[in-house]
Structure 1
Amino acid sequence: MAGASMKDIKLRIKSVEGTMQITKAMELVASSKLRRAKERVEHSRPYFDVLHAALDDIAYSNDEFRSPYMAQRPVKTSCYVVIAGDRGLAGGYNANILKAVAAHAEGKNWCVLPIGKKALEHYRRRGVPIVTDRYAEAADVEMSGCYDIARTLAKGFVNGEFDEVILAYTNFVSMLSQQPATLKLLPLNYRKAEKGSGPRQTTLYEPDCETVYNAIVPEYLAGLIWGGLCESVASELGARRTAMDAASKNAGEMIENLSLHYNRARQAAITQEITEIVAGAEG
């Protein structure tokens, strides 16, 4: 700020104060939404835990059980479901998940089903094949949308459009920590219980085990996607809150420095005026 006039410094202080008000408001909004997002994360977990237990029960209790969703075949094409944000100003939230996907998919032939505006824009710019762009707004994706996504993925896997499906999301660890994560959705994998490891319950499924299993799988996938979406939304809000808090603190430090420069310039101006008055009186 060397050589800047008092008026310029004062305008700069007002500008930084305006920015600080915006970042403070965004921090408060993110904090308010984060509480609801954390509750949604906690409420989403029991749903697919029950479905996972049902799938395991069917698979483990039938030695000759087969399902197209368990088909292990050479991976020619991978499909990534990438959950990112709709907006920026969230620190490294969007960049971190996109970098994690790029590292995980390196050397693969892959396509992507993006959820969130930032993910869609990123993969469009890079020419990555996109399964569908119907979910460009992550904030608009509800449980019904997750069912649609799950059915699309299940159908594509069974039809051989892709040989594995991977969910990429951000795991909410705490207010200050959010970690990118990947989860393999398809093919489903499990280890059969060894004979003699203990008694197993026998459950009768109608019309048959495979039909029930194949009907539950899309529901299970939808639950996993919904859980990943809830985790990602909470992570985005946590990252935005942290980023806005840091921005507010930086703005406060800038205001202090600018105020110091302003006071020095004002003191210099007063000293100059006194000097001129004294010189004029002596003359």
Structure 2
Amino acid sequence: MSGPGAFTQTFASALLSPEAPRPAGLRDPSGVAATRRYDVYRNNVSVALTEALAAAFPVVERLVGEEYFRAMARAFAQEHPPRSPVMATYGAELADWIADFPPLAALSYLADVARIEQARRDASQSADAAPLEPGTLAGLPPEALAALCPRLHPALRVLSLGRSALAIWARNAARPDLAQSRAREVLVSRPHLKVLTLAAPEGTAATLRALARGTPLGAALPIGADHAAIFGCLFEAGAFAADEALIHGDPAR
């Protein structure tokens, strides 16, 4: 393969591989071989990607150490180069990559910690919406409440994790209130201006996934689960978006 396209691919690939040879034929504006310029540029790209990942996954970096994280970030970047110039979104695949990265197999909780951090980043970047206030439903009869299909808040994320992941994240993220949690279900949301991370009762994830499929509220709540605890957690998280048409039973919905 040759031509401008092949050169561009070689140029970009070598940027993410410090051990790769410099692309042949590079020249600076004066016509001199641009070896040093390319090396500086390659280093700047590596540093920028590593810093973007460190900013998005500070607990992961803390758990593995700064030096190891830099090496890990370089390996990740070679497999997942940026697809957007917006670095605030870079690294969305990191949790799944960690789960499949053999050198980190002993840290079975690390991928889940990364999932919490990614969910928090997703929530912070999601669209705004007013959360549904619990009092809005207070006057509805039980049968009307059970028939509702509330719209989920766009910032809401629900996670099903290993039992230690939330506590490990919390101990390294200044969240002592969750440092002893054994919850396997976690809600991340941003109903107002602050990202929330909450331990959720068992059955919360199943409820939300059923609601996302359009299942009415009464059928979405798992049999045997603590429905009051689930409702309390969902409203604390601002899990539902305010929707007047829905509340008043608009038949078009």
TM-score between the two structures when normalised by the length of structure 1: 0.19
Point out the structure with the larger strand share: 1
Point out the structure with the larger helix share: 1
Largest Rg, 1 or 2: 1
TM-score between the two structures when normalised by the length of structure 2: 0.21
